[in-house]
Amino acid sequence: MGTVYPYFRPYLRALALDTRWAFFAPNPTRGRTLRYTVEDAQGARHEFRPTESLARWEPGYFRLTTLYAALRPDAPALVASAGRYLCRRHAALAPRSVTFVLRDGRVVTPEEYLAGARPLDDGHVEERLLPEVACGPAASAG
């Protein structure tokens, strides 16, 4: 990065332009989507796919996808905070809990891609379940 990077780094970070751009070979990044399920007071489960349903031109797209990309098993405080936020956001469902599912895509070979496979197709992802976040009186605070 040389000697210029330290001067531009604050601006790059503020605009989220300091990301790793590894679209292509030899080591492309794995895609990630996040899904979450809200269980309501009656036990019915409602699935949401925020990273798949947000349009890129929506004002909150970048902020929300960046937040959702940061959710991971080794950041329980962030998972709990995001879960409490979603409890409040879906208050009309009378939520009992929120459960996150991280879906990491695998790298698709050129042959698989030409055959129609995509990194985030259901058959090409590893799913990781994050700990359930309970909703309740504490979730409605703040």
Residue 19: its pLDDT value, please? 67
CB 89 within 8 A of CB 36: no
Average pLDDT (8-26) is: 71
Between 10-24, 45-59, 65-79, 111-125, the lowest mean confidence (pLDDT) is in 10-24
**pLDDT band (50, 70, 90) for residue 1:** low
What is the overall mean pLDDT for the chain?
83
Average pLDDT (4-33) is: 73
Peptide bond connecting 95 to the previous residue in cis, omega within 30 degrees of 0: no
Taking only the tens place, the pLDDT of each residue in 85-103 is 999 999 999 999 999 999 8
**Residue given tokens 């797209």 in the structure block:** 61
Q: What is the DSSP string of 56-109?
A: TTSTTHHHHHHHHHH--TT-HHHHHHHHHHHHHHTGGG-EEEEEEEEEEEPPPP
Q: How far apart are CA 11 and CA 18, in angstroms?
A: 9
What the block records as the tokens of 40 is 């309501």
Q: How far apart are CA 32 and CA 1, in angstroms?
A: 27
**pLDDT band (50, 70, 90) for residue 38:** very high
pLDDT higher at 92 or 105: 92
CA dihedral of residues 55, 56, 62, 63 (deg, nearest 10): -20
Average pLDDT (7-14) is: 81
- DSSP, collapsed to helix, strand or coil, labels residue 35 as strand
Span between the terminal Cα atoms of the chain, in Å: 41
Taking only the tens place, the pLDDT of each residue in 58-87 is 887 878 878 887 888 899 999 999 999 999
